[in-house]
Amino acid sequence: MRAAKRKDLKVSAGRPQPLGATRDADGVNFSVYSEYATSLSLLLFDSQESADPDHVLVLDPDVNKSFHFWHVHVSGITPGQLYNFRAGGPHDTSVSGCRFNPNKVLIDPYALGNVNSLWSRTCALGPGDNVGAAMRSVVIDPDDYDWEGDEPLRIPLEDTIIYEMHVRGFTQSPTSGVAHPGTFAGITEKIPYLRSLGITAVELLPIYDFDEQDVLRHGPDGTPLHNYWGYDPYGHFAPQSSYCIEPSAGSHLREFRDMVKALHHAGIEVILDVVYNHTGEGNQNGPTISFRGLANEAYYHLVPQDKQYYMDYSGCGNTFNANHPVVTKYIIESLEYWVSEMHVDGFRFDLGSVLSRGPDGAPMTVPPVLWNIELSRILAEIKVIAEAWDAGGLYQVGRFPGERWAEWNGPYRDQVRAFVKGDPGLVGEIATCLGGSSDLFAPQNELPTNSINFITCHDGFTLNDLVSYNGKHNDANGENNRDGNDDNRSWNCGVEGPSDDPNIEALRQRQIKNFAAVLLLSRGVPMILGGDEFRRTQQGNNNAYCQDNELSWYDWDLVGANAETVRFFSSMIAFRKRYSTLRRPQFFGSRVNERGVSDVTWHGCDVNRPGWGDPDSRVLAFTLGGFNGERDLHVILNMFDFTLRFELPEIPNSQWARVIDTGLLPPDDIVDAGQEVVVDDIAYQATGRSVVVLVSQDRAER
């Protein structure tokens, strides 16, 4: 879409609300926050190739400023219009923190789309004019779309199974076979695969506009490395241009909405991984893109003693001042926009603990931005998930402000990794993990659904690499392997990296199934890292944030090569959906069903003897009582290297039948409903390093 050319523009005062570029019947109203600017100009461009604006509208503060907001209405322009701002005012970095520079061309923080064909990050640095090398914001009409009756799905948290994925990485590889690789449309093409897997939600790594052109450093082979993950946004309303097929046409909203609508039609929710803790403008040496040039002193936490420097609770150079009133307004309106206009079903907040810090940087008991999110009418039914820590030392898992927030459960990840690889003495901790981490969430009167359970995520090893490497191998990142987590609790099963040894390969396959089984047997909300189900590898790199290449892209040839693993994951997901006892949104209690089976009963190799105090134990078994007509379940976890005999509990008029045994070869490792194999013994021989699940049957069923 391109704005029509015109010689004369009709300009009037406009209005201060809403912020951004808002179309009406006559034209467009522009409004931007800048409390201390002494001058502000609106630049209009007839095309994105225009190095200079075709019109410059210098705003009169007596007419075009209301309190902290600059505004102007321009008649005769339409969606597709490209625009920027210039702001003049004090440049007093030490005392006030203001960084006004009228030479710098600024995008609109509220822009619904931006184009960057002329963008040069280098030109945005330093004091010089960058009009010929700046991004352009685009006027977009959000009402110009047919949702065809689409609504958010509102799947309950207890029934949710999250699949974390990167938009580009998911389909960028030629092996994906899609028509539009690396785009929102590419995801749409892969919906049949996602449906067959059985997940209920995709969680997309950041899709807000971010800068992919900046060369972070060079790899050992000289390859320039760029920001791939996208955790450095410069706009929180605009979809990432490079994830669109035709960003120059202003199709940002349409292409994203098409994907959301198609996913909803398939019964899959869309959760966005969002970054409101910092921006891509970086520290005092970073580029001026938007926030810095409009209201640096409001948008960022500055060092009180010398405001040319930024407080860095994010580890990324700056920290968003989320509880400043105007910044809180910005964040809330951004989130509400993505829900009301884009039909997003939820958000995962990167370094969410930053949002609990007040203007002085200290944690707040009642952070306004978090409680505004929790209490917003528009956000009331969507999922809100926090990464409940930050780079400044705040760690709030189980203590995150608010009550309905779910949280990434880092302790769950660490304890399950250690137990499955064979660390002893963890049976008590694993029992707690399986029950929804009551140690973390019950003291705050929260529930298992406050726990996002995961074994792997984008930040760390893939599941294949977790069982294939003892240490990280991040040399390709150009930081001499210093980056990335050193505490991975991984085990290579005997050989570092790929192996042709069939015994090692079989053990790795079994360990992957063990992790998947434990994850999907746990109360709480399971999250699977995309590609783990077909053993995607990053060759031991546990911090692939700068690897926009085959190392990070999903290799779809592995779906066929590892069909056994894909089948296990999809069957395990179906099993979880079949038994509500695995998905109850309450912690284990004292209920007893009509067969006399408790909500949960813990065992070891002997019934009712779990071995809580045994420092050498690597086994745990438990029985889950089925209610409302459901069958009882019995689970055996044997993480010793050898086969052990597990006594089975007796249930009147019932027998046990095997559904899952990761120690068996497919298809016996997991069977479909109705294909269960009756156990003709009072005990079960569980192979070393295996997970077994049995279901009760009436003896008459045999």
Residue 387 annotated in active site: yes
At residue 499, the 3 state secondary structure works out as coil
Does residue 572 contact residue 520 with C-beta atoms inside 8 Å? yes
Please give the Cα distance from 256 to 117 (Å, whole number). Answer: 20
Token pair listed for 520: 């999907």
DSSP state of 467: T
Q: Which ranges constitute the DSSP H helices of 409-457? A: 410-421, 427-434, 438-441
Distance (Å) of CA 72 to CA 14, 22, 253:
4, 11, 24
Angle in degrees, 0-180, between the axes of helices 368-375 and 325-340, rounded to the nearest 10 = 30
One of 255, 273, 387, 676 is an active-site residue; which one? 387
What whole-number distance in Å separates Cα of residue 580 and Cα of residue 599?
A: 12
* Distance (Å, whole) CA 126 – CA 353: 32
Q: Which residue has the tokens 């093409």?
A: 189
Would strands 677-678 and 654-661 be described as parallel, antiparallel, or unpaired?
A: antiparallel
The enclosing H or E element of 326 equals: helix 325-340
- Closest among 211, 350, 352 to 281, alpha carbons compared: 211
The answer to whether the CB of 169 falls within 8 A of the CB of 241 is no
The two three-digit tokens of residue 232, written as one number: 């450095």
Catalytic residue among 273, 350, 446, 548: 350
In 76-214, where do the E strands start and end?
Answer: 82-88, 91-92, 98-99, 114-115, 136-138, 162-165, 201-204
Strands 82-88 and 69-75: unpaired
Q: Which residues are known to be catalytic?
A: 350, 387
